[in-house]
Structure 1
């Protein structure tokens, strides 16, 4: 789908080009908040707004399934500080998260870049942080073939920092699957690694 224009078929083989509906929405939004969308500085804003939304929502993570043979057994693999941005589905305001993903491989290792690709895939939509960590954990479990996955996200939500109480705060949410949900020692090992 084109960012600023769409092809609309009118029943024949010919097509005409129309403006992305998000451009009109952005113009209307500017008018509703008392701005002139035709003034200098705002003239190209509706098209930029439309491009940003299309880019964010139409995110393509690329290949997710690269696997390598595991070197050893009973390893704990941790990828930490994956930075993602998402949008709060309640206020359409951004939140950013630092995501940590841990898993115990069962015969195969997931390619390193795949952790960030998975995190971004689920962040690039209207979201809540609790669902985000759960979706990442399920996807990593599915791709790697192991039930033992932990995901921890720490995030600041602009819907709290910029509006309402206007108090910056950090929210932490977790998703534990497999042995991470039942083995306190395994979780303690993960927490020790994150403190190093």
Structure 2
């Protein structure tokens, strides 16, 4: 009787600690996948595909540290609603490893200072650059921005197109998923919450 030993699985590395992937190993795995799919990795058109796919995975799954937002003093501001919307990012559904496109809108209350606008887009991209689910993504963006701004007065609305629902399974191309995270005054003030949702929707419709 032959004894067969199975190597223990490699421990998962927390996402925030990732510095890159083994691109050579990933390229080799992609080559194996192509063979299993009945393709020839050495034919014209595919010979460089494994390397390209590995390079993309390395870029996509290595977002680095979350962006540090720049804040500017505006002493005359008090309780002004600021909405940054129509931010489009791509992520990957972790259940099927199929892309999802997320339309992101963020609202906050400017109290004595404002946040550099470009950082909202960088934060949205940062948390999309990993295997995700939309519900967790919405919460992660909101919690990070709350720490950046130093206030729980944050609202994040995300509208997602999930290819795992559009191109597989029920194949409903027009289906969209909407998630909302409301903190601070956005959670307790229905008028403020409605203002945010209206502005976010208007920005999306105007695009």
Taking structure 1 as the reference length, the TM-score comes to: 0.87
Displacement, 1:20?
1.5
- Among residues 38, 45, 48, which one is paired with 2:49 in the alignment? 45
- Is 1:173 matched up with 2:152? no
Displacement, 1:62?
7.2
Q: Which runs of 5+ in 1 are unaligned?
A: 7-18
- Is 1:26 matched up with 2:30? yes
- Which residue does the alignment assign to 1:90? 95
Q: Which runs of 5+ in 2 are unaligned?
A: 1-18
Provide Cα deviations, 1:41-86, integer angstroms capped at 9, x if missing partner: 1000000000010010112477422111134101001000001000
Provide Cα deviations, 1:132-177, integer angstroms capped at 9, x if missing partner: 1100001111001121100001110011111111112111111111
Summarize the alignment of residues 120-135 of structure 1 with structure 2, pairs less than 5 Å apart: 120-135=125-140
**8 Å contact from structure 1 (residues 64, 117) kept in 2:** no
- Closer/same/farther in 2, CA of residues 179 and 2 from structure 1, 3 Å limit: closer
Separation in 2, partners of 1:81, 1:60: 24
**8 Å contact from structure 1 (residues 85, 96) kept in 2:** yes
- Which residue does the alignment assign to 2:81? 76
Separation in 2, partners of 1:61, 1:93: 24
Taking structure 2 as the reference length, the TM-score comes to: 0.83
- Closer/same/farther in 2, CA of residues 123 and 33 from structure 1, 3 Å limit: same
Separation in 2, partners of 1:79, 1:60: 23
Q: CA RMSD in A?
A: 1.8
- Among residues 117, 124, 128, which one is paired with 2:122 in the alignment? 117
Count residues in correspondence: 182
- Which residue does the alignment assign to 1:13? none
- Closer/same/farther in 2, CA of residues 161 and 90 from structure 1, 3 Å limit: same
- Among residues 105, 108, 112, which one is paired with 1:100 in the alignment? 105
Separation in 2, partners of 1:64, 1:140: 10
Separation in 1, partners of 2:117, 2:65: 14
